[in-house]
Amino acid sequence: MKEEQVQDTNELKDQAIHEEQAAEEAEAASGEGSSTAEEATTEASGNGGDSSRLQALIEEYQGRTLRVQADFDNFRRRTQKEKEELAQYATSKLVNELLPVLDNFERALASAPANPDSEAFAKGVNMIFRQLEGVLKSEGLTAMETVGQPFNPEYHQAIMQVESDEHEEGIVTEEVQKGYILKDKVLRPAMVKVSM
């Protein structure tokens, strides 16, 4: 494409030189007689067709250049957006794999015996759990609040419908497994029981 542009530019220069020569010949021939002047005018008008062709080529190449520039700008914006999304959600796979560990910590703490001998051990496990929870929160992980909320299939996964006198129809009555949101995306929907 660049070779074509260089070639067309050279053709433009050659055409300009020919037009100048034709104009000089026309001036020199004006003293020789009217028949020579008519020939020079005819030759100049023939070059006018070439100049309009060259003008069309110039416009075509300018249009191509603008389109290529617009395509490049779109490409640059798209890759920048993809890079930002990748950086924002780069940790999602690791956080997703740590969710079962978080669940197991919660289960272990919930079932810890109230024995004074194991109280120090339970306290240590609780501290580790809080530390892990803090690290995950710093990455943008938040637990969903589900009980008492209307059922939303984007955030909840209904595993059972139960009859409830306390709640109206379509309200989450119990959370079986916690759901989590990473920044603004649902990482894991909450498994819930819904009133009917």
Q: What is the pLDDT of residues 40-92, one digit of tens each?
A: 444 444 566 788 999 999 999 999 999 999 999 999 999 999 998 887 777 88
**Average per-residue pLDDT for the chain:** 80
pTM of the model: 0.55
Asked if 176 and 193 touch (Cβ cutoff 8 Å), the reply is yes
User: 5: which residues sit within 8 A by CB, 6+ positions away?
Assistant: 61
DSSP sequence for 35-98: HHHHHHHHHHHHHHHHHHHHHHHHHHHHHHHHHHHHHHHHHHHHHHHHHHHHHHTTTHHHHHHH
Asked if 173 and 196 touch (Cβ cutoff 8 Å), the reply is no
